[in-house]
């Protein structure tokens, strides 16, 4: 499976600021996704990062709050904008491997965000 890294691994931020999380894959992948996992909870899909076009957001998530970039087949960023304590979560990227089953997802290590 692909090797997926995320930066930063964790951060503590002040409310009202923004944080950009990077997701890097060691091989080209078809699909990249961003999830949120609140403490002790399940995984919720934020959006699908589309290469060369705007991300596709799930209900309850908007581009102004979570802008996403995907400039190529191995890299994506998620920005958490104008943060509040409710944004404290683990943010994970996941990928579907190119040439493999079109629906098998592998997760990055996650970014643990704390907003004060």
Q: Which residues contribute to the site for another protein (CB under 8 A)?
A: 31, 33, 41-45, 48, 56, 58, 92, 101-110
Q: Which is nearer to another protein, 43 or 82 (CB)?
A: 43
Q: Which is nearer to another protein, 18 or 41 (CB)?
A: 41
Q: Which is nearer to another protein, 14 or 52 (CB)?
A: 52
CB of 43 to another protein, least distance (A): 5
Maximum Cα–Cα distance for the chain, whole Å? 42
Q: Which is nearer to another protein, 67 or 110 (CB)?
A: 110
CB of 82 to another protein, least distance (A): 26
CB of 81 to another protein, least distance (A): 23
**Following CA atoms 19, 65, 27, 11 in sequence, which dihedral angle do they give, to the nearest 10 degrees?**
20
CB of 29 to another protein, least distance (A): 14
């Amino acid at each position: 499976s692909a090797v997926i890294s995320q930066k930063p691994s964790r951060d503590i931020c002040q409310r009202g600021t923004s944080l950009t999380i990077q997701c890097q894959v060691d091989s080209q992948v078809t699909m990249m996704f961003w999830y949120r996992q609140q403490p002790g909870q399940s995984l919720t899909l934020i959006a699908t990062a589309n290469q060369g076009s705007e991300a596709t957001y799930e209900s309850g998530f908007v581009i102004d709050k979570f802008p996403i970039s995907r400039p190529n087949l191995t890299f994506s960023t998620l920005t958490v904008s104008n943060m509040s304590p409710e944004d404290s979560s683990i943010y994970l990227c996941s990928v579907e491997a190119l040439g493999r089953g079109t629906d098998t997802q592998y997760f990055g290590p996650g970014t643990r965000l704390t907003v004060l």
